[in-house]
Structure 1
């Protein structure tokens, strides 16, 4: 049972958290709207996050060396294409997810990732993804699933990555 002091501290902490969330919501809403207005669902925040998380999600099959940069560009474009095919409401949610991850205070608070994306190591990103994947909060699990599905969808839709997974390509239909 809570003591009176614990109850007051929890109430104050909750109020501060709600105030911070309200203040941070405006930049996130603005980022989501800018992405939709620009007609490019993959705005700068998404271009910051996708190339960093893709190699971690695709660990073991992601190319290294000279092919790495080209593969990152193809995955980034594939994610943009996939997001562009979503409904306007879903595009807004995905844009807000990436804006949340790109904005330093929310990245630290929600993702637990203190270094910037370009400074984060594989272990940091893997830890963040695992926390979200196994979170008790369904919202974080949904965020993980969105990131995972977008990256894997872009990877498997790219014919240049089929050789890495031993897929010969779709069957050729013979016209009769």
Structure 2
């Protein structure tokens, strides 16, 4: 490693290596984390950079703090849609409100394998109703509906990896 990363401990390097391995096994194209002055971007596909998309990277990169004007050296490429971004069901009707993933992770429709799902099509929810869990690195985040109404469509399958902002459900308000 270069002298600019000498402040990383062996444990930090191991954690970054685990992130690389986790990304390699996932459906995601990239992962970016900022911790203090350290910015780590790991990618295996197209990396969005301020609205533009960079070409797929040959290997993950670890970047030290860089000026905001730094631009990727790779030429723009057309990204291919990820499997999670492709539609699974009919398009939502006008007026339906989406419930989106508040984080990336694994979607769970039920609190445990022996329990029924939090919600199913036709169930009535309030804004505070828990509709699912999203697990990230062994942390389970309860996702509230955020809107009152009736579940009209479930857009993802149980145990599927979801991305931040991905539509999980549609609700008829």
Give the shorter-chain TM-score range.
Answer: under 0.3
Larger strand share, 1 or 2: 2
Larger helix share, 1 or 2: 1
Question: TM-score when scaled to structure 2?
Answer: 0.24
Greater relative contact order, per chain length (Cα 8 Å cut-off, separation 6+): 1
Question: TM-score when scaled to structure 1?
Answer: 0.24
